[in-house]
Chains A and B, each alone.
Chain A
């Protein structure tokens, strides 16, 4: 199994600012992902974080808005840029070894005022 931690656990931010969320895995994994979960909804995949290269974004998500880094096999960051109230959501990091169980972090609850 893998244990995933995220920082911060929650934050309240002002419109127009940016927030960087950190994700740390306690063991080396192949895949790391970032999801968004809006209130009462299921998970929406934002992007796959690729080690040492640009992330792969899903339709509707762009690098300028959600820049992602993954400098090594156990760490990734997601930045939510130029925030608006519509970005208020839970942001979840997950990780997996290829074709194995996917594990999730506890999430970051973001409120944008």
Chain B
């Protein structure tokens, strides 16, 4: 059974700094891995999707990497802004299973 872990649970960073969020998964037979952000009391917004055959994906200031062999993905945020403050969730989709397995999330606070 796939298990997804995100450490740390919370992170505070001064505005302008670059930062990395971590995601670990136990079953490397994934089809893809997705990163989402969630603002308080809101739904999830899809940020990036990395297919199992890819090593990274980029969108603006966001870069997500995937290393299946080590069971890890990272989300890199460049030049952080207060608007980046949110909870970030990663989720793995395994072969033969159409359901995402979510991590516990990292609550990010960017300090102005």
Interface residues of B (CB under 8 A from A): 31-32, 34, 36, 41-46, 49, 89, 91, 93, 98-100, 102-105
Contacts and interface: CB of A to CB of B under 8 A. Distances in A.
Given A43-B102, A48-B98, A99-B93, A106 B43 contact: yes
B43 A107 contact: yes
Nearest to A109: B41
User: Per DSSP, are chain B's interface residues mostly helix, strand or loop, or mixed?
Assistant: strand
B31 A99 contact: yes
The 3 closest A-B pairs by CB, nearest first: A104-B44, A104-B43, A106-B43
Contacts of B36: 104
Nearest to A47: B99
Interface string A67-104: 00000000000000000000000101010101111111
A45 interface: yes
Nearest to A94: B44
Given A42-B89, A90-B41, A103 B46 contact: yes
B96 to A, nearest CB: 11
A48 B99 CA distance: 8
